[in-house]
Amino acid sequence: MAMVKCAWCDGKGIDDFRLTSPCNVCDGDGYVNVPDPPTECGRCSGTGKIRDSFNNEFVKCSGCRGSGWAR
């Protein structure tokens, strides 16, 4: 396993997007554990976010659950 930066909160541990704290992708740690070697999620290009075309808001990528990394 490898520790990598949580894409959803950009490593800050705070979800400043939804203004909830701590970030519920990484539990406020700012990093997530992924299998070694870390691979960017191809679905969201490592951003962890997908723009919802319906309401134009960012939502967590379903491929990586917001972490930005393939699991």
4 touching Zn ion, by CB under 5 A: no
Query: Least Å distance between CB 54 and Zn ion?
Result: 18
DSSP strand pairing (31-34 vs 58-60): unpaired
Q: What is the DSSP string of 17-69?
A: TTTBSS-TTTTTSSEEEEPSSP-B-TTTTTS-EEE-TTT--EEE-TTTTTSSB
**Segment 40 to 59, residues that bind Zn ion, using CB under 5 A:** 41, 43-44
34 touching Zn ion, by CB under 5 A: no
* Residues engaged in binding Zn ion (CB under 5 A): 6, 8-9, 23, 25-26, 41, 43-44, 61, 63-64
